Amino acid sequence: MQENKPYAEAPEVLLQATAEQSGNAPQSETAAEPTGDRMPSLEESLRQAELKAAEHHDAWLRAKAEGENIRRRAQEDIAKASKFAAEKFANAMLPVKDSLEAALATENQTIESLREGVELTLKQLAAAFQTAGVTDENPVGSKFDPNRHQAIAMIEADGEPNTVVSVLQKGYMLHERVLRPAMVTVSKGKSA
């Protein structure tokens, strides 16, 4: 009976394997409790991990609060910029208003002094426009551009067709943007 010999030599191994399968295995010392050296290092690792997690959570909360503050400040800046966008232009227009009020307050005006006052006021207005980036456009002799000009009439005139012959009302630009198109008369060329 050579076949039974391995079982006869190791009955404890067989009993232990059977007990483990049924769930009644005796617990060894190493599986039941960690050794004396290992327990403090696990507790220390857990404590350090909890501290690091708390630090990361605190940093996340601070970053979130900072992001909210930046968003709020940006909204306030946009609101202020929109509300006070015309501040520079308004400041440049104040002397013009002052000049007009002074002209109206003067009692004994001659036509010449009135004209002189209007010319000075117009110069102040032109300077205020220039400061704000507003320029006028007088396109006489240039090609008609429907993006910058509004054709009121077409007339027979010397020169090339689609050329601006006269300006009925000046156009104005704010930097490169059209504020008001120029009202113009356009040449349709000479009829034969």
Q: Domain spans of the chain?
A: 133-192
* Whole-number pLDDT of residue 192: 53
* Whole-number pLDDT of residue 12: 54
Distances in Å between the Cα of 103 and the Cα atoms of 6, 57, 99, 183 are 127, 69, 6, 31
**Cβ atoms of residues 179 and 147 within 8 Å:** no
Using 50, 70 and 90 to split pLDDT, how confident is the model at 131?
confident
Average pLDDT of span 83-91: 85
Locate 105 and state its tokens: 């307050």
Residue 23 pLDDT greater than 60, yes or no: no
Highest mean pLDDT among 53-67, 115-129, 153-167, 175-189: 53-67
Amino acid at the residue 70? I
- Report the top-level CATH class of 133-192: mainly beta
Does residue 127 sit in helix, strand or coil?
helix
* Whole-number pLDDT of residue 184: 95
Average pLDDT value over all residues in the chain: 82
Closest by CA position to 165, among listed 148, 187, 143: 187
Q: Which helix (H) or strand (E) holds 126?
A: helix 111-132
